[in-house]
Amino acid sequence: MVSEPLRLGVVGLGRAFMLMLPTFAQHPLVRLVAATDPRPEARSRFVEEFSSNGFAAKAYDTLDGLLADEAVEAVYVASPHQFHVAHVRSAAAAGKHILVEKPMALRLEDCRAMIDVAAEAGVHLAVGHSHSFDLPYLRTAELIRSGRFGRPRLIVGSNYTDFLYRPRRPEELDTARGGGVVFSQAAHQLDVVRLLAGAEIESLRAVTARLDPARPTEGAYQAFLLFENGASATLTYSGYGRYDTDEQLGWFGELGQRRDPSQYGAARRALAPVSTPEEEAALKEERAYGTSATVAGRTAPAAHNHFGHFLVSCDGADLRPMADGVRVYANDREWLDPLPAPAVPRAEVVDELHAAVRFGVPLLHSGEWGMATLAACLAILESAATGREVRLGSQSTASARG
């Protein structure tokens, strides 16, 4: 028997929503019933696309309108970073369960306030999507927790993308307002490595790099992490559009799509004609929901989502999550622990939220989890600025379980 789908309202029909749109459109355990966005063209597209069989989806020009809609039982907060705190507070006060995009906030005290208001309202607060929802990483964590290969000891993670040359609004290039790769991309990498290590971060040492004066924010970082269980990790990320880690994943992209390596430098070329921040913001707007001819896709991705190269060295084997499974390198042989091809992209996000709301299953990606990830992001910036190791300790009560 199929459980009742979650009736979801969307706060913000921008780029984050576009990335989750195929999931929401295809997953049988969620139904988009309402949205709010300041752009009338986005609202019109939403109503047109998600009204069918006598059901009329609703679109509102204010958050209050969406939260007053009794059909909405959970909201996906996909607004810009700086609005997350206020929007989560309002949603919790209205009694709605919440999925808030990462980073959940830019200050730890705001994270704590969001966690507290959700608890007081008796609603679930989940943080994501991040790539620690991806099935290859969940399966790798499951293999580690089985004890079959001993404890995780050393973890390597690296990801090289063109992130910094995708069209950006001005605040996305301003670290103080949540811009740069640390808040937007380290959150993914830190989530994955925390999941794999199975423990919280005890301390870290990091450096960051700003390699392009025209993009005045952190575009790359490298960090060394020690975990409370004795594991360690090295993380490297660069968003400067040069080397591409998808080469190591068989040219499957971050969203599971097939990549064409002949398109080297495409992001930089597309951005080259732009001469003002206003032009760049307009270019980004062209990728937002409601401004193009694209509609909710129905095509399954070619492979699972991923966030670059990871390798976990345990006592008895090295484990490498791949786009199609987990490659196991044991002492005497190596093999692929295969995963079924994804029918719905990022299905694990909906699965986790639905299980919490319908069956009371504890969230992995809870508010506490998101707060611990933000603490590590802030520690990267602090360590890079001071040249010192930063001790974190137990930043939350969340357990990094598989």
Per-residue pLDDT reduced to its tens digit, 71-87: 999 999 999 989 999 99
Mean pLDDT value across residues 212-239: 98
Q: Where are the domains of the chain?
A: 6-131+346-366, 133-344+373-391
Distances (CA, A) of 79 to 16, 36, 228, 358, 361: 8, 10, 34, 25, 27
Which residues neighbour 191 within 8 Å (Cβ) at sequence distance 6 or greater?
102, 130, 131, 132, 365, 369, 373
CA distance 211 to 3: 50
Both tokens of 310, joined, read 């990871």
Label residue 48 by pLDDT band (50, 70, 90): very high
Q: What is the pLDDT of residues 176-206, one digit of tens each?
A: 999 999 999 999 999 999 999 999 999 999 9
Return the pLDDT at 264. 96
User: Is residue 399 predicted with pLDDT exceeding 90?
Assistant: no
Q: What is the mean pLDDT of residues 235-244?
A: 98
> Distance between alpha carbon 146 and the CA centroid of its chain, in Å?
26
pLDDT above 80 (res 291): no
Segment 243-267 mean pLDDT: 95
Q: Is 133-344+373-391 a CATH 3.30.360.10 domain?
A: yes
Averaged confidence pLDDT in the chain: 93
Provide the pLDDT for residue 298.
54
Q: What is the mean pLDDT of residues 134-152?
A: 98
Averaged pLDDT, 91-105? 97
pLDDT of residue 292: 62
- Structure confidence by residue, pLDDT tens digits, 315-327: 999 999 999 999 9
Summarize the confidence of residues 168-173 as an average pLDDT: 94
Distance CA 366, CA 127 (A): 6
Q: How confident is the model at residue 295 (pLDDT cuts 50, 70, 90)?
A: low
- 15 against 42, higher pLDDT: 42
Was domain 6-131+346-366 assigned CATH 3.40.1410.10? no
